[in-house]
């Protein structure tokens, strides 16, 4: 199921950020800049096709309400370039409010809590209130858009077409509460869906958040809820039962609240597989010495959930246990700067600098260093070249909703295949069985698994990689999006068989 199917109704996507970056030029004019995520690439064409809308924060705090977002530049080739100004609804959030909502509640509370790291989570009533206020702003914009779309459909005689609203991620847990209320009070119509891109924690963790009931109610205001894997679905269902006393059906993943039934489903996100293959086929070589030195690659946002420190310690352990790898193996770690104004992320950056400095000081030779570290962003083409030419991808988060890097690596293995080492605590670990799985907290084991990967015969690598690639090609990002929309009953036809059955 590679192509995008027809929507039976207009689609309204609601996400924290719009699907492109808005930039103010020196002359004060606004321009769109591409943002290259797989989600945007998959979903934007559907919104364009069904004449839908995208609602999100523009990235600028000083945008006057009512400002029209510019059309894409004529030479803009991004998947969002066909999105007309009239299809974009910017939500205005001022800097102070954003600080409390985003850096405070989203990243200071929900990010660590939902990654089961409660010691890092800060619980503050004022940031939670800011979160509710900002979510209400998103809801107001969504309701206004819905009113307009329903009126247009009525005028066309399409009274039985219900627009589809698809809300994304942990920044927008409570948007659906107000949307549902308006739909009921004003007799509007829509199908409401929610997808969470990060893990959903167990009840033990969730109950630590003092206002957890409002989050659960916000999600349950939707008709359909998707998570990456069934463990997250079951955690959510369990929380609804224990916190709200909902009737639940675990086997069929149903939750009942106030006489309404909410459908819950695991929908593991995929990547634009063919695009990564094409990039790997054409990208020029980026690592010059692959013939002599085997590259072990790590690619992550610089985030404490990604297990970067543990990974580097495991690599150090490998060199201690197997000094024969000195001058023959290198760890190339790419770290994308992330949330750079949050204290914990600054501390992690310092810790990484020190750790890498110490290990390089300990093992380096005049013409070789054990660790190469790039703190910055790369183009997708450069990434694809690195994926293609690395002997091993070390994807060892302590906790991760899915992890797309693992999938991008296998897509790019178009030459002699490498080995994927994966943490079972990433959603990807649930399905990518042919990877070598390792607990990232077990530094010694991780070093042993690295050794095994470096020694793995070609035949075994081929066998594992073929299976991994076949699955990711089939379950790509379009498959994921079609599955979500068809689960909501939003597609015109759905006759293709589910490749999972």
> Is residue 349 within the footprint of ligand ADQ (CB under 6 A)?
no
Task: Locate all alpha helices (DSSP H) within 168-307, ordered by sequence.
Answer: 175-186, 203-206, 212-220, 230-244, 273-282
Residue 24 token pair: 């103010």
> Is residue 41 within the footprint of ligand ADQ (CB under 6 A)?
no
Stretch that binds ligand ADQ, among 151-159, 343-351, 401-409, 468-476 (CB under 6 A): 401-409
CB nearer ligand ADQ, residue 236 or residue 325: 236
Q: Which of 296, 299, 331, 385 binds ligand ADQ (CB under 6 A)?
A: 299
> Is residue 386 within the footprint of ligand ADQ (CB under 6 A)?
no
**Is the separation of the CB atoms in 126 and 100 below 8 Å?**
yes
Q: How many CB atoms lie within 10 A of CB 207?
A: 14
> Is residue 269 within the footprint of ligand ADQ (CB under 6 A)?
yes
Q: How many binding residues for ligand ADQ (CB under 6 A)?
A: 17
CB nearer ligand ADQ, residue 318 or residue 405: 405
Per CB under 6 A, contacts with ligand ADQ among 156-215 are 197-198
> Is residue 400 within the footprint of ligand ADQ (CB under 6 A)?
yes
> Is residue 348 within the footprint of ligand ADQ (CB under 6 A)?
no
Parallel, antiparallel or unpaired: strands 260-266 and 254-257: antiparallel
Stretch that binds ligand ADQ, among 6-14, 50-58, 66-74, 402-410 (CB under 6 A): 402-410
Torsion angle of C-alpha atoms 158, 160, 164, 165, degrees rounded to 10:
100
CB nearer ligand ADQ, residue 182 or residue 331: 331
Residue 99 token pair: 């600080």
d(CA 336, CA 233) in angstroms, rounded, equals: 30
CB nearer ligand ADQ, residue 164 or residue 269: 269
* Nearest distance in Å: CB 82, ligand ADQ: 22
Q: Which of 336, 342, 414, 454 binds ligand ADQ (CB under 6 A)?
A: 336
d(CA 487, CA 69) in angstroms, rounded, equals: 32
* Nearest distance in Å: CB 406, ligand ADQ: 8
> Is residue 334 within the footprint of ligand ADQ (CB under 6 A)?
yes
Stretch that binds ligand ADQ, among 280-288, 404-412, 434-442, 466-474 (CB under 6 A): 404-412
Q: Which of 93, 383, 438, 490 binds ligand ADQ (CB under 6 A)?
A: 383
Q: Which long-range contacts (CB under 8 A, 24 or more apart) does 360-364 make?
A: 362/316, 363/319, 363/326
d(CA 471, CA 464) in angstroms, rounded, equals: 11
CB nearer ligand ADQ, residue 196 or residue 222: 196
Residue 364 token pair: 């380096």
> Is residue 402 within the footprint of ligand ADQ (CB under 6 A)?
yes
CB nearer ligand ADQ, residue 170 or residue 363: 170
**DSSP 8-state class, residue 109:** I
| φ, ψ dihedrals at 227, nearest 5° | -130, 165
Q: Which of 223, 316, 389, 408 binds ligand ADQ (CB under 6 A)?
A: 408
Q: How many CB atoms lie within 10 A of CB 452?
A: 13
Helix H, strand E, coil C: the string for 297-361 is: EEEEECCHHHCHHHHHHHHHHHHHHCHHHCCCEEEEEEEECCCCCCHHHHHHHHHHHHHHHHHHH
* Nearest distance in Å: CB 115, ligand ADQ: 8
Interface residue list for ligand ADQ (CB under 6 A): 197-198, 269, 299, 301, 334, 336, 377-378, 383, 400-405, 408
């Amino acid at each position: 199921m590679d192509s995008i199917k027809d929507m039976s109704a207009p689609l309204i996507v609601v996400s924290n950020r719009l699907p492109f970056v808005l930039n103010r030029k020196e002359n004060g004019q606004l321009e769109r800049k591409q943002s290259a995520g797989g989600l945007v690439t998959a979903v934007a064409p559907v919104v364009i096709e069904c004449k839908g809308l995208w609602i999100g924060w523009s990235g600028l705090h000083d945008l006057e309400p009512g400002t029209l977002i510019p059309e894409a530049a004529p030479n803009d080739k991004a998947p969002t370039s066909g999105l007309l100004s009239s299809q974009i609804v910017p939500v205005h959030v001022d800097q102070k409010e954003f600080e409390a909502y985003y850096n405070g509640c989203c990243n200071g509370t929900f990010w660590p809590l939902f990654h089961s790291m409660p010691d890092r989570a800060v619980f503050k009533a004022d940031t939670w209130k800011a979160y509710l206020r900002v979510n209400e702003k998103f809801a107001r914009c969504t309701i206004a858009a819905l009113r307009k779309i329903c009126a247009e459909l009525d005028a066309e005689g399409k009274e039985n077409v219900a627009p589809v609203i698809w809300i994304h991620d942990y920044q927008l847990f409570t948007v659906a509460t107000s949307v549902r209320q308006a739909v009921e009070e004003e007799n509007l119509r829509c199908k409401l869906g929610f997808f969470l891109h990060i893990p959903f924690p167990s009840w033990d963790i969730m109950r630590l958040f003092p206002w957890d009931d409002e989050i659960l109610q916000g999600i349950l205001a939707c008709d359909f809820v998707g998570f990456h894997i069934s463990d997250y679905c079951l955690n959510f269902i369990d929380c609804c039962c224990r916190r709200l006393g909902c009737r639940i059906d675990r086997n069929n993943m149903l939750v009942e609240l106030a006489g309404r039934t909410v459908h819950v489903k695991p929908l593991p996100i995929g990547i634009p597989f063919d695009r990564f293959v094409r990039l790997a086929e054409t990208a020029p070589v980026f690592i010059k010495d692959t013939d002599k030195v085997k590259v072990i690659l790590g690619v992550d946002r610089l985030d404490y959930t990604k297990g970067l420190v543990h990974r580097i310690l495991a690599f150090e352990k490998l060199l201690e246990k197997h000094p024969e790898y000195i001058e023959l193996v290198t760890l190339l770690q790419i770290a994308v700067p992330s949330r750079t104004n949050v204290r914990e992320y600054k501390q992690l950056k310092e810790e990484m600098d020190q750790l890498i400095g110490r290990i390089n000081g300990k093992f380096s030779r005049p013409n070789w260093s054990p660790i190469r570290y790039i703190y910055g962003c790369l183009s997708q083409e450069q990434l694809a070249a690195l994926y293609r030419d690395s002997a091993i991808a070390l994807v060892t988060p302590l906790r991760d909703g899915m992890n797309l890097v693992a999938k991008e690596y296998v897509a790019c293995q178009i030459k002699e295949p490498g080995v994927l080492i994966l943490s079972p605590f990433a959603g990807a670990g649930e399905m990518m069985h042919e990877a070598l799985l390792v607990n990232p907290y077990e530094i010694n084991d991780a070093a042993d698994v690295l050794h095994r990967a470096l020694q793995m015969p070609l035949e075994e690598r081929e066998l594992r990689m073929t299976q991994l690639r076949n699955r990711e090609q089939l379950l790509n990002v379009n498959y994921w999006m079609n599955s979500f929309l068809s689960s909501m009953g939003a597609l015109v036809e759905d006759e293709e068989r589910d490749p999972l059955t």
